[in-house]
């Protein structure tokens, strides 16, 4: 009976009070949204440079925006590539046409009567050798285009000249060393396909870095101007701080 009297003292409409400790535990378990953990400055800049450069997906593009898998041997640990540019693909047209013509050259071998004096196995060896030479030429020209890169990172600009398998030239300049940037678009092909040279004047040891025959030179200039402004803003905040 004592138990029933105790129960009668609690009205069914009374407010049930939750202990403060339980509420605090629930707040501690509450997950923080992913958006709140992102640095606001980097997120805003990410939007800004994508607005300037656009988006690219193909790794064989001549204009790679924020590539995820591209790296270079001299890259620092905290360095991020914002743009990787190659010479415009139209510049490959000359060697592609030449390599295609080389593939059809053996068709005309039968018109050279002196070749018929050689045994068949020698003729087949010569034919195989010709196709190997053709493949090596085309492959070397492709590698020279693919690895000839002009990079803009969050720290510097990089010019990698890959002339052949035995000749590689590397030049770099920090963003705060950039003094002036200009571009030039020449010829019918350059105007029609929108590619040209971007000349970067610097105060570093190498006073000029030239991005040659790259697509969208005006976008590269806008990106460099944006990065220079951020560097100056950061330097001003450090001086005031």
pTM of the model: 0.72
- Domain edges within the chain: 34-87+148-240, 93-143
Q: What is the pLDDT of residues 186-211, one digit of tens each?
A: 999 999 999 999 999 988 777 889 99
What is the largest distance, in Å, between two alpha-carbon atoms of the chain? 125
Place of tokens 């535990």: 25
Give the architecture (CATH level 2) of 34-87+148-240: Roll (2.30)
On the question of pLDDT at 220 being above 90, the answer is yes
Q: What is the pLDDT of residues 143-199, one digit of tens each?
A: 999 999 999 998 899 999 887 767 788 889 998 889 899 999 999 999 999 999 999
Q: What pLDDT score does 41 carry?
A: 35
Whole-angstrom CA distances from 24 to 19, 33, 37, 103 are: 9, 19, 22, 76
CB distance 226 to 53 below 8 Å:
no
């Amino acid at each position: 009976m004592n138990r029933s009297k105790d129960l009668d003292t609690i009205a069914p409409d009374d407010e049930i009070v939750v202990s403060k400790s339980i509420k605090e535990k629930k707040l501690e378990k509450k997950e923080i949204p992913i958006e709140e953990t992102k640095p606001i400055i980097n997120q805003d800049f990410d939007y800004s440079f994508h607005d300037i450069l656009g988006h690219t997906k193909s790794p064989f593009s001549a204009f790679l925006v924020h590539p995820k898998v591209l790296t270079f041997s001299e890259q620092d640990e905290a360095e991020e590539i914002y743009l990787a540019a190659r010479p415009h693909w139209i510049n490959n047209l000359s060697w592609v046409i030449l390599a295609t013509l080389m593939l059809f050259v053996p068709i005309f071998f039968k018109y050279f009567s002196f070749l018929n004096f050689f045994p068949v196995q020698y003729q087949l060896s010569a034919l195989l050798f010709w196709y190997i030479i053709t493949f090596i030429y085309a492959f070397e020209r492709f590698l020279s285009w693919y690895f000839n890169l002009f990079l803009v990172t969050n720290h510097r600009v990089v010019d990698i000249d890959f002339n052949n398998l035995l000749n590689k030239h590397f030049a770099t300049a920090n963003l705060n060393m950039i003094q002036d940037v200009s571009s030039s678009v020449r010829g019918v092909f350059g105007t029609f396909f929108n590619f040209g040279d971007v000349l970067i004047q610097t105060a570093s040891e190498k006073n000029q870095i030239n991005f040659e025959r790259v697509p969208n030179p005006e976008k590269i200039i806008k990106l460099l101007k944006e990065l220079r402004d951020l560097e100056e803003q950061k330097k001003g905040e450090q001086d005031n701080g």
